[in-house]
Chain A
Amino acid sequence: MSARDPSPEPNCETPVLRVRGLDVAFDTHRGTVQVLDGVSFEIAPGEILGVVGESGAGKSMVGAAVIGLVPPPGRIAGGTVELHGERIDTLRGEDMRRVRGRRIGSVFQDPLTSLNPVYPIGRHLIETIRTHLPVSEQEARRRALALLADVEIPDPESRIDQYPHQFSGGMRQRVAIALALCAEPQLLIADEPTTALDVSVQAQVIRVFRRVCRERGTAAMLITHDMGVIAEAADRVMVMYQGRVLETGPVRQVLDHPREPYTRALMAAIPSVHDRLHRLPVPEIGADIAVAAALPPAQAETVAAPADGTPLIRVQGLSREFDLSAGWLVRTLARQPKKVLHAVDGVSFDIARGRTFGLVGESGSGKSTVARMIAGLTRPTAGTVHFDGIDRWGNAAQTAALRRRFQMIFQDPHASLNPRWRVDRLIAEPVEVLGLAASADETAERVAQALRRVRMSPDDGRRYPHQFSGGQRQRIAIARALASQPEFIVCDEPTSSLDVSVQAQVLNLMRDLQDEFGLTYLLISHNLAVIRHMCDDVGVMQRGRLVEQGSAGEVLDAPKHAYTQALMAAVPDMRYAPAAAVLVTA
């Protein structure tokens, strides 16, 4: 079985897009880097092909190469791209420009920056329509209105004259889809279209996307790292790894019975929202991807019953308000009321010792604010947080005594480590500031120990953060959190910006550390599957309120509150059974 998978059975009609042996290279000061290597695939009319892979797989580059927008110093070094039988990779200048938009439409990831903020939506649509189709201004406007209605924008007549900043994220992305379709292209390329959106909004965007493609018979290439989105939206899927195509096939086939070891490992490493595993299998990423390490048997696990005793963390009536009203001048003159945002409103829960409490919610739910109040970064406007019976926001002496007992891990490993500090200095900081070591040697020893605990070498201490990958940086952040030997760690979206395989490693590490040191975790996440995998108890937040809480099994298997039910329903359903995949390995 070669790594280059030949395209599947040819369709009776000519494929809309046919790519053969595509190579893309980048000329850097370190030499030529091969970003795409012999990529081949086809898309039939009306078909949605999912392109999936982790970061560095080259999936975005495929999309860029097809429309001729490979950023310099990159270039297409070989292969062919054919649109309805005609070669388009050799087109330049005006010829290529006419293909873009008219025959191939594009949707990008970030809807906020994709649209020019000083022009209304209508202007974007009409401009694109009239650039490609010979229609009058009124006709273009009529078409634009029809498109907006089609992508389910309410009240298109008034919305068409509004500016991008007046739309929500999900609406903007639907407008972007409308923009991509307005010149009636034969192919649509969507690059991570739902990555920046909440789960519930994502569901709607995917639904609209599928429907408009079906109705128009437009072929589509859906590029994403999210396997769940592929499961919901695509007909066929192409799995990529480090610039090469690993395997291609119908979605259900690849997801349920993947052929390649890497794909199997990748599928297995994705936590499921339905079952909790003991540890996630981690795909080995080595030079020869055809050989993946034997996967440890994935054991399903039931959550232990809560221990008795005083909870380590007790949160009562926690609230945080933000005053968003305009200055007093505006309020007096415009007679506007005081506008207060209740970011967190009367939240109460307990975290038992040695267990993991998960706080789940979408953006704006207030979960991060709760975490910051518990961690001591933001002062609550009402309510209390008690750490082992001590008031966390009490007097200075109490607060100081608590400091060495808890720590925090943040979402973005790029921003949570000071780029100008060496790794060993970063990890030593808590030890030094909290006065936990008697001498410089002792500090160095603690740093080395911390690095070893996160499966890194003490020599790594001498390097700088930018020399490490995202996953390694997150492990350094964990090492820093461990250096002061805390009892309690707040984890704010610790794996949200990591690839699936790296996420599996980090989550496994966190569980190992919990078992070894008896740590207590507060885990904040919007990803229900991660919550299921890691947490013993769960709280669901919506717009500042804790709408439901209980053990993980209770909340996720039998949700009582309507919002929780809606959330669970919106999670892309992969209908994937981990046990089945393991059987294939053996």
Chain B
Amino acid sequence: MTLPSPTGAPAPRRWRNAESPVLRAFARSRTVQLAAFVLLLVALASLFAPWIARQDPFDPAVLDLIDAFTPPGQQGASGAFYPLGADDQGRDVFSAILYGLRMSLLVGVSAVGLSLAIGVPLGLAAGYAGGWFDTLVMRVADVQLTFPVLLVALLIFGIARGLLPEGYRDDMAVYVIVAAIGLSEWVQYARTVRGAVMLEKHKDYVAAAQIIGRSRTGILVRHILPNLLAPVLVIATISFALAIVAESTLSYLGVGLPPTQPSLGTLIRIGQGFLFSGEWWILLFPALVLLALALSVNLAGDWLRDALNPRLQ
């Protein structure tokens, strides 16, 4: 016996009446289920890209120039099938998207990881210790906030470019861009964590731990940190979306991933050149995939924030 959900379709009964409000909220919302599905699909696609894709589109030996500009859903002159068309070099757009997706996700996850690694410990320490350390961290954060993500990323990119010799630039591009985005996003983690820590440290369970002589680090890591998971998770999701958009923007501007190791942004940049001459598919499909990805992550982040908000339960 299943209960009808508000959208009309039956949902698994055990989830709808689950004790956890998060699971209940999940079962209730069709849109979030869709977003989760898309994300799962994307993750699997990028993981298994080398097996799903017909060719490694960035290996010049595999490409067939006579297939250039094949429209989507048709066979090229060489007889190979191009579900999403081919670009000016005969590259299969579908394969290119799979590999590009891979890069975008890789950069996104790494950048978030870096920001977490910097921001959370700093926030913990600043919030708990207070005093001059807190002031210092917050001042540095303020200065950093003067510049939006894009600008900091561009700056780091520029510095790296100035410092690295010509030959290495393309290979190091991934590291540079991960560093660029990661180093500019840490501030929101630090601030949120700091705010949460400042609230928690006055609670009595912290005093109870202090009485028996637990060290400051012990209290921070074992007591306070588990209580911060909810806000950190929400920020991580949203900043993941931001990282993906930021990376694609940087690649589009030409300062991100190069055409030899393209991400979705790079593909869009390449595609823009052909938009006005009629080969719309080179731009459209990567753009759609990027949109779907960012949309799903944002949806998930939004929903997560509401689901984890204790005051809304």
User: For chain A residues 134-192, which have a beta carbon within 8 Å of chain B?
Assistant: none
| Contact of B227 with A by CB under 8 A | yes
Q: Which residue on B lies nearest to A30, using beta carbons?
A: B17
A377–B207 touching, CB < 8 Å = yes
User: For chain A residues 43-73, which have a beta carbon within 8 Å of chain B?
Assistant: none
How far, in angstroms, from A430 to B208 measured CA to CA in the complex? Answer: 9
| Contact of B209 with A by CB under 8 A | yes
Chain A residues contacting B226 (CB-CB under 8 Å) are 418, 420-421
Q: Which residue on A lies nearest to B16, using beta carbons?
A: A29
How far, in angstroms, from A417 to B205 measured CA to CA in the complex? Answer: 5
- Asked, given contacts A429-B212, A433-B212, whether A29 binds B205 with beta carbons under 8 Å apart, the answer is no
Measured CB to CB, the closest approach of chain B to A111, in angstroms, equals 21
How many B residues touch A, CB cutoff 8 Å?
Answer: 17
Measured CB to CB, the closest approach of chain A to B198, in angstroms, equals 15
User: For chain B residues 189-233, which have a beta carbon within 8 Å of chain A?
Assistant: 203-205, 207-214, 223, 226-227
Interface centre among A403, A407, A411, A429 (most CB of B within 10 A): A429
How far, in angstroms, from A230 to B68 measured CA to CA in the complex? Answer: 89
| Contact of B30 with A by CB under 8 A | no
- Asked, given contacts A29-B17, A410-B204, A420-B227, whether A434 binds B211 with beta carbons under 8 Å apart, the answer is no
Number of contact residues on A: which range applies?
Answer: 20 to 34
Chain A residues contacting B203 (CB-CB under 8 Å) are 415-416
Chain B residues contacting A418 (CB-CB under 8 Å) are 205, 223, 226-227
Interface centre among B16, B17, B203, B204 (most CB of A within 10 A): B204
How far, in angstroms, from A406 to B223 measured CA to CA in the complex? Answer: 21
| Contact of A408 with B by CB under 8 A | yes
| Contact of A400 with B by CB under 8 A | yes
A407–B211 touching, CB < 8 Å = yes
Which residue of the partner chain, among B24, B209, B212, contacts A484 with CB atoms under 8 Å? B212
User: For chain B residues 9-62, which have a beta carbon within 8 Å of chain A?
Assistant: 16-17, 24
Chain A residues contacting B211 (CB-CB under 8 Å) are 375-377, 403, 406-408
Q: Is the interface of A mostly helix, strand, loop or mixed?
A: loop
Q: Is the interface of B mostly helix, strand, loop or mixed?
A: helix
Measured CB to CB, the closest approach of chain A to B177, in angstroms, equals 36
Q: Which residue on A lies nearest to B227, using beta carbons?
A: A420
How far, in angstroms, from A30 to B16 measured CA to CA in the complex? Answer: 10
B213–A400 touching, CB < 8 Å = yes
Chain A residues contacting B204 (CB-CB under 8 Å) are 410-412, 415-416
How far, in angstroms, from A403 to B223 measured CA to CA in the complex? Answer: 20
| Contact of A480 with B by CB under 8 A | yes
B209–A403 touching, CB < 8 Å = no
How far, in angstroms, from A415 to B209 measured CA to CA in the complex? Answer: 12
- Asked, given contacts A377-B207, A408-B207, A411-B204, whether A419 binds B212 with beta carbons under 8 Å apart, the answer is no
How far, in angstroms, from A477 to B209 measured CA to CA in the complex? Answer: 12
Which residue of the partner chain, among B24, B205, B213, contacts A433 with CB atoms under 8 Å? B213
User: For chain A residues 383-432, which have a beta carbon within 8 Å of chain B?
Assistant: 400, 403, 406-408, 410-412, 415-421, 429-430
Chain B residues contacting A416 (CB-CB under 8 Å) are 203-205, 207-208
Chain A residues contacting B223 (CB-CB under 8 Å) are 418, 421
User: For chain B residues 133-174, which have a beta carbon within 8 Å of chain A?
Assistant: none
Chain A residues contacting B212 (CB-CB under 8 Å) are 403, 407, 429-430, 433-434, 484
How far, in angstroms, from A195 to B183 measured CA to CA in the complex? Answer: 49
Chain B residues contacting A417 (CB-CB under 8 Å) are 205
How far, in angstroms, from A258 to B204 measured CA to CA in the complex? Answer: 39
User: Given A377-B210, A410-B204, A433-B212, 16 more contacts at CB 8 Å?
Assistant: A29-B16, A29-B17, A29-B24, A376-B210, A376-B211, A403-B211, A403-B212, A403-B213, A408-B211, A411-B204, A415-B203, A416-B207, A419-B227, A420-B227, A429-B209, A480-B208
User: Closest 5 interchain pairs by CB?
Assistant: A416-B204, A410-B204, A420-B226, A418-B205, A415-B203
Which residues of A are in contact with B by a Cβ distance under 8 Å?
Answer: 29-30, 372, 375-377, 400, 403, 406-408, 410-412, 415-421, 429-430, 433-434, 477, 480, 484
A-B contact pairs, 24 of them (CB 8 A): A29-B16, A29-B17, A30-B17, A375-B211, A376-B211, A377-B207, A377-B210, A377-B211, A403-B211, A403-B213, A407-B211, A410-B207, A411-B204, A415-B203, A416-B203, A416-B205, A417-B205, A418-B227, A420-B227, A429-B212, A430-B212, A433-B214, A480-B208, A484-B212
